Amino acid sequence: MSAVQSSLYLGFVLSLLAYLFGAWLKKKFGWAILNPLLISVILVIVILKIFHIDYETYNNSGKYISYLLTPSTVCLAIPLYKQLELLMKNAVAVIASIIAGVIASAGSIFVLCTVFGLSHQEYVTFLPKSITTAIGMGVSEQAGGVVTLTVVCIIITGIFGNIVADAVFAIARIKHPVARGLALGTSAHAIGTAKALELGEVEGAMSSLAIAVAGLLTVIIVPMISGLI
């Protein structure tokens, strides 16, 4: 077992294989719930539990995967650049809808927290849940939230958004690629953007833009409304 414990590549290979398996399942059955990201996360957790490998060991190599997240975020500029003309043409719609989304996020979290009778600390922990982790952690900390729980919420939100997007778009009849991209980026940050990129280049570009704009708007809006609960 010590060889497994000290392996630097185990977590990496495990993650890649789990994702490939998830993608294969999705292709074979085509159900939305068979989201490759969700499948691979569950699969990795189950395997770690079965073989009594702790998270730290897994993350010894997992952290090199996470390491690529920042350059990968930088590359979101590529679809954005390719769709710049479309973005400029729809600038008003883009800005207005992201603002609407950020307000809807804060408003719905406020209402739900009131319904559940949650404390101020829990309320501000949830507030940055729809924005990218790097910004959300700072927002939560500033407002006095529990940062680790904020990260949990951000990841759950992202994966959930990634999974339900197809169903939500079908039920709410959201068809326009620009609208789909903005909706994914504003509601489910970078994990939603991964889904948007699968839908198409326009969706990916709009979603990338929404991550940055929604993140920065949330930084501004949270201090204004954090005192409500």
Residues 79-138 that bind another protein (CB under 8 A): 79-84, 86, 90, 92-94, 96-98, 100-101, 104-105, 108-109, 112-113, 116, 118, 122, 126, 129-130, 132-135, 138
Angle at 218 between CA 214 and CA 224, to 5 degrees: 150
Answer yes or no whether residue 150 interacts with another protein by CB under 8 A: no
Identify the sign of the CA torsion 124, 128, 129, 130: positive
Could you tell me which stretch among 1-9, 25-33, 204-212 binds another protein (CB under 8 A)? 204-212
Answer yes or no whether residue 196 interacts with another protein by CB under 8 A: no
Nearest approach, Cβ of 30 to another protein (angstroms)?
A: 18
| Token pair recorded at residue 6 | 């000290």
Name which of 83 and 226 has its Cβ closer to another protein: 83
Question: Which listed residue (10, 124, 143, 178) binds another protein by CB under 8 A?
Answer: 178
Map residue 44 onto helix, strand or coil. Answer: helix
Answer yes or no whether residue 16 interacts with another protein by CB under 8 A: yes
CA 206 to chain centre: 15
Site for another protein in 46-65 (CB under 8 A): 48-49, 55, 58-59, 62-63, 65
Q: What is the 3-state secondary structure (H, E, C) of 127-180?
A: HHHHCCHHHHHHHHHHHCCCHHHHHHHHHHHHHHHHHHHHHHHHHCCCCCHHHH
